[in-house]
């Protein structure tokens, strides 16, 4: 399954394309950051980001477009920009008849690291490990877009149903697993392995 993930932003919009396989392995197809100038007029910025997203959609032909779900922030201008780009991306997906997956940041973090409060470096480290990359994807907009694509692909495989609006099982924390006597999840095991490998390089 080919997923195109979008980390929406008006100044920097991360777009990552990933192939996700039934065994939960994943392969990087493409990743880019569409940028606009803060001094440009809003309608031109929205058009530029929309054109950038649609060009990648048409080039790679994903099955699903995964977008970070807008959530409340103290910075109103930031959340407005995110919401506007999200709308542009949704329209582009609808025009092409593509399924859309909306995920919150905590859902994405839990999916790829096993921990819903992971920081950006932890997310980037796991994305690099999952995709077999030699270096961490940068900037954070790029790694976040790839993480969104991976999350959507894994959740689609779990649900085996239409993706848009499909709630996925809540990720359990490592604390809850320990209390229940369960072993680590696949994502948690991969994260621990990545941590050990990183310590071994020091």
The pLDDT tens digits for 124-176 are: 999 999 999 999 999 999 999 999 999 999 998 765 434 444 333 333 333 23
Query: Residue 116 phi/psi, 5° resolution?
Result: -70, -10
Is 74 designated active site?
no
pLDDT at residue number 164: 41
How would you label 75-100 residue by residue, b for 16+ Cβ within 10 Å and e otherwise? eeeeeebbebbbebbbebbeeeebbb
Residue 141 annotated as binding?
yes
Contacts with 23 (C-beta within 8 Å, 6 or more apart), sequence order: none
Residues of the chain with pLDDT under 70: 72-74, 158-202
pLDDT at residue number 78: 82
Residue 7 annotated as binding?
yes
Q: Where are the alpha helices (DSSP H) in the chain?
A: 42-60, 76-95, 105-113, 120-131, 140-159, 174-180, 186-201
Is 195 designated active site?
no
Q: Six-digit token pair at 38?
A: 């803060």
Is 99 designated active site?
no
Selecting among 19, 99, 141, 144, the annotated active-site residue is 141
Selecting among 19, 68, 99, 144, the annotated active-site residue is 68
pLDDT at residue number 156: 86
Question: 2-201: what CATH class?
Answer: alpha beta
Task: Kindly report whether the global pTM for this prediction surpasses the value 0.95.
Answer: no
Burial (CB count within 10 angstroms: exposed 0-12, middle 13-18, buried 19+), residue 106: middle
Which of helix, strand or coil describes residue 41? coil
Query: Residue 7 phi/psi, 5° resolution?
Result: -100, 95
């Amino acid at each position: 399954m080919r997923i195109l993930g979008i980390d929406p932003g008006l100044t920097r919009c991360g777009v990552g394309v990933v192939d996700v396989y039934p065994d939960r392995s994943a392969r990087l197809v493409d990743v880019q950051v569409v940028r606009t100038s803060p001094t440009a007029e809003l309608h031109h910025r929205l058009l530029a980001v929309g054109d950038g997203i649609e060009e990648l959609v048409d080039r790679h032909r994903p099955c699903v477009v995964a977008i970070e779900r807008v959530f409340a922030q103290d910075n109103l201008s930031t959340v407005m920009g995110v919401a506007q780009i999200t709308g542009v991306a949704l329209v582009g997906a609808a025009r092409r008849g593509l399924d859309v997956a909306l995920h919150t940041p905590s859902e994405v973090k839990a999916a790829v690291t096993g921990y819903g409060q992971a920081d950006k470096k932890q997310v980037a480290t796991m994305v690099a490990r999952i995709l077999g990359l030699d270096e961490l994807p940068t900037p954070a907009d790029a790694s976040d877009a790839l993480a969104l694509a991976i999350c959507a692909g894994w959740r689609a495989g779990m649900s085996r149903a239409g993706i848009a609006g499909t709630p996925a099982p809540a990720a359990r924390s490592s604390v809850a697993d320990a209390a229940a006597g369960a072993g680590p999840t696949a994502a948690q095991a991969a994260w621990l392995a990545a941590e050990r490998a990183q310590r071994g390089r020091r």
